[in-house]
Amino acid sequence: MDDESPPRRTLQLNDGAHMPLLGLGTWKTCSSEMFQGAVEAAIAAGYRHLDAAYSYRNEVEVGRALRAKMGQGIIRREDMFIVSKLWSTHHAPRDVPLCLSKSLSDLQLEYLDLYLIHFPVSLQRIDDELFPEKDGKLLSTDIDYVDVWKEMEALQASGKVKSIGVSNFNISQLERLLSVAKVPPAVNQVELHPYLVQSELIQFCKSRNIALTAYSPFGSPGRPKELHRGDSDPEKLLEDPVVRGVAVKHRRTPAQVLLRYHVQQDIAVIPKSVKPNHILENTKIFDFSLDEEDMMALRSLNRGWKACDISGLRSHPFYPF
C-alpha cells in the first residue's frame, strides 16, 4: 500500500497506479434515475473508485453521474478511478476494441483507469445478447484468454486504458497467463467474503504482486433470481450471528465489518447500494480495526459457497470455478 497518511485508503498496483480500496459496485441496477442518483450520492460521499462493466447495461447512467459531479466542480476526471470490463461475447480480436469503445462512449470518458477481462470463458457474439443460447444451452467459443490478453495489452499501449487486469480467474489460469504475458495483470477481481475465503488464491495473487478486488462482499443478497439456488442457499451473510457478534463488539454495522474484513487484508472492495444512507455508512471503515480473534472468527465461516456461479458454462475447459 502507499504511505499517504493513515489510515491508508489506496492500494499501489504493480504498474505504479493507485487504486482506492473502497469502490462502488454497479452490478444489479434498479431504475436508471435512481441508479444515477446513487452514483452521484457515492461521489458526494467521497467514493473515488467506480466499478462498471459493459455487461451491466448501465454505463450510460454512470457516465451521466460523473459528468454531473464534474460539472458541479465536485470532482475532476483525474480524481476518479474508473473500472470497466470486457465482456465474453467480445473476445475475438476485432471485437475487443469495440467493447472498450462502447464503454468509453457510454461513460463519456477518453480513457479508463483499469480494464478487466470479465470472465475467462468466451461466448459467441450474436447481436447484443449477453448470454447467447440455442436449445437452452449457452453458446461458447474456444477463443483462448491468453490471446484475449494480447489484445488487452494493445489497448493499454494505445493509452485508452491505464491498467489492465482480469476477473474470475483461478490460480492455474493466472499462472498460465503470467508465463506468456508481456504485461502482468494488475488486478484480479473475484468474489470474496467470509463464506468464500479463498485463502490460496489470495496468497498466490499477493505472491505475484497482483492486487485483489472483492466483489459481492455481502454475499450478493440482491443478485438475480436465476443465481439463487433454493432454501439451502446460505445467502444471508449480513445476518450471520458471527458477523453480527463482531459488529456489536465494535459498535459497527455488519456491513462495515464485512468491508473492513477486506480492506484490512489490503484487498479492495466494491459494495453496491442505491440507498444514500448505506452508501455513506459504507465509507466509515477506515477508523477502526478488527483484531486477530475477529479475523479468525470471520474466516471460520468459510464454506466454499459462491453466490455468483454461471453453471451453464461448467463444461467449458476455461471455466474457472
Residues annotated within the binding site for substrate are: 118
Q: How far is CA 135 from CA 132, 138, 139, 141, 225, in A?
A: 10, 9, 10, 16, 21
| HEC profile of the chain | CCCCCCCCCEEECCCCCEEECECEECCCCCCHHHHHHHHHHHHHCCCCEEECCHHHCCHHHHHHHHHHHHHCCCCCHHHCEEEEEECHHHCCCCCHHHHHHHHHHHHCCCCEEEEEECCCCCECCCCCCCCCEECCEECECCCCHHHHHHHHHHHHHHCCEEEEEEECCCHHHHHHHHHHCCCCCCEEEEECECCECCHHHHHHHHHCCCEEEEECCCCCCCCCHHHCCCCCCCCCHHHCHHHHHHHHHHCCCHHHHHHHHHHCCCCEECCCCCCHHHHHHCCCCCCCCCCHHHHHHHHCCCCCCCCCCCHHHCCCCCCCC
C-alpha cell at 147: 490471446
Q: State yes or no: is 56 an active-site residue.
A: yes
Largest separation between any pair of C-alpha atoms in the chain: 57
Active-site annotation holder among 47, 54, 56, 115: 56
Indicate the annotated binding residues: 118
Active site residues: 56
